[in-house]
Amino acid sequence: DAKTTQPTSMDCAEGRAANLPCNHSTISGNEYVYWYRQIHSQGPQYIIHGLKNNETNEMASLIITEDRKSSTLILPHATLRDTAVYYCIVPLGAGGTSYGKLTFGQGTILTVHP
């Protein structure tokens, strides 16, 4: 997987937007950016992924810079239940032996406080 860099921890007030950055300066042209989160004592949960365009789903929005070297996951209205470790992952190109074999780094510990 391409190397990603995330802040170790972040805080956010409940109801405010949480913006989680990720640097992936070595990303290749056909590699996607994936985001997961892991709530304490649970398995990771897939959130969203994108290639070059911004993406939005019911959980979050993903903003990818034009040069694709960084991205930001946005939780528009954070709640206490969004407190978790958030992982930014760039798997090796689609298909091939890397399919589904993800490298989870240390991620960002997001704490949402009242």
Partner 1 sequence: SQTIHQWPATLVQPVGSPLSLECTVEGTSNPNLYWYRQAAGRGLQLLFYSVGIGQISSEVPQNLSASRPQDRQFILSSKKLLLSDSGFYLCAWSAGPGELFFGEGSRLTVL
Binding residues vs partner 1 (CB under 8 A): 32, 34, 36, 41-46, 49, 89, 91, 94-95, 98-107
Reduced to 3 DSSP states, what percent helix, strand and coil does the chain have, rounded to the nearest 5?
A: 5, 45, 50
Which CB, 72 or 98, lies closer to partner 1?
98
Amino acid at 65: T
Q: CB nearer to partner 1: give 21 or 44.
A: 44
Long-range contacts of 95-99 (CB under 8 A, 24+ apart): 98/1
Q: Considering the complex, what minimum distance in angstroms separates the CB of residue 94 from partner 1?
A: 4
Q: How far is the CB of 22 from partner 1 (least distance, A)?
A: 14
Question: Least distance in Å: CB of 35 to partner 1?
Answer: 10
Burial class, 105, CB count within 10 angstroms (exposed 0-12 / middle 13-18 / buried 19+): middle
